[in-house]
Structure 1
């Protein structure tokens, strides 16, 4: 049974095409489940539409939910359409986000750290001129935020947990025990991590997280799910079969998705 829980569309300002196009691509690709999970508005900002090239406007959010729910009904019997959202994690605004999400019947919420130390994790310039000890500090702050996001109880899934390597592949080689510590926290909190195949669109290539982290995740009993993080319909379900095969090689026996925030286990 094929599923993909991480897809975007044109509302966020940096993805192409409509939600329907992603659903149709999923059906064409043989998926049984497609999750729609566009970027949440910046609820902590006083602006109606902060960062218009990154996330949707606040006023678009109820329309987004309404559209997904309508498509869920329309496609019933053809494919299971799930209502999700990819949520930025801002510790100082977590209560606002909880209040907003409580208004809607989400199947799942992906929590993703996109900013660390006030700088985008994808900003390659953040690494320029740093000493090795300073690089460790940056990496550990990123994983501290991921730990904190796991502990909120708001998220069923944590997104791309080593995406900081996207435009700085050497990130993976920065030594710190914080990664193992973070995996233990994630396991303790019962949150899943996604294998996100969008790393292939960045300098690093490949997937998030690395095989090494996936091996450690298995050791700590962390459950995994799949997300293409597609911003174009053609990437829906991208490399699903390869990810499934690799997980089996690592030693995983199943992966999960969420419906009505309840874990659904799928054998590999």
Structure 2
């Protein structure tokens, strides 16, 4: 992958829209919000359909229908053309990572002209990472095993080569803040090493502010470890409403500078664009 360098630009690669069933606003609302907030780059990255499911739209409140996927791509490409010269609209998507269904996702996603793909682990052992009830009754050892399995899945996703960015890599704390206190530092370090070796970026995702944990994904402690291992950083608000687009961009940039980062990245035509902090 050839890295391009650009002067400092404001970018946000993680946005959702009404098509997924749990966000507000159409795609163009987010583009207009980005322009109004002085951003030069916006990535459109709604949730993938459940490509491996026999039903067209098994979970209407979670993801778009498989049959709507071509419409999504077509709409973003049309808006990319419409706004050319005003803002750089990038075609992205946030893909679930299910190891057992990976081939179906890979085939579907490689048949579209994505600028980038965010790979996110949303389920561990078939249960949503945001389901706080999953922790009830678990022993300390079982909690550690669950956390380590989560990071094993993240490492597996990095190794696939399909994803340019990994989404919200400690989001399991979202509705269970105690997740951060479960000891698994060695596993987190191992995962960060894999991510760095695979030349994949992680995002700083500011949507933690909408959940019980507060703050960002991942924590500053994990970001400091990521810097130590040479992991590249991108940015995504994970906005599900236009007013949250670009949330905390400047604060995140300063936090990364404080850690030691000199640049972060976004992706266009699946090629890395390096932006100075």
Give the structure 2 partner of residue 57 of structure 1: 65
Post-superposition Cα deviations, 1:141-169, rounded to whole Å, max 9, x if no partner, equal: 10010011000000000000000000111
Distance in 2, matches of 1:101 and 1:126, equals 31
Post-superposition Cα deviations, 1:212-254, rounded to whole Å, max 9, x if no partner, equal: 0000000000000000000000011000000001000011000
Distance in 1, matches of 2:268 and 2:116, equals 7
Q: Which of 85, 92, 101 lines up with 1:84 in the alignment? A: 92
Q: Which of 127, 132, 142 lines up with 1:134 in the alignment? A: 142
Whose RCO is larger (CA < 8 A, sep 6+)? 2
Q: Which of 129, 145, 149 lines up with 1:121 in the alignment? A: 129
Gaps of 5+ in 1: none
Distance in 2, matches of 1:117 and 1:97, equals 19
Give the structure 2 partner of residue 195 of structure 1: 204
Distance in 1, matches of 2:274 and 2:100, equals 33
Question: What TM-score do you get using the length of structure 2 for normalisation?
Answer: 0.96
Gaps of 5+ in 2: 1-8
Q: Which of 239, 247, 250 lines up with 1:230 in the alignment? A: 239
1:259 aligns with 2:254: no
Q: 4+ runs of 1 displaced by more than 3 Å?
A: none
Question: What TM-score do you get using the length of structure 1 for normalisation?
Answer: 0.99
Residue 255 (structure 1) shift = 0.2
RMSD, aligned α-carbons: 0.5
Distance in 1, matches of 2:258 and 2:151, equals 26
Size of the alignment, in residue pairs?
268
DSSP-derived class of the 1:136 partner: helix
Range 104-113 or range 170-179, more displaced? 170-179
Q: Which of 161, 164, 172 lines up with 2:172 in the alignment? A: 164
Give the structure 2 partner of residue 183 of structure 1: 192
Residue 103 (structure 1) shift = 1.3
Distance in 2, matches of 1:119 and 1:72, equals 36
Q: Which of 249, 254, 275 lines up with 1:240 in the alignment? A: 249
DSSP-derived class of the 1:207 partner: coil
Q: Which of 159, 164, 175 lines up with 1:151 in the alignment? A: 159
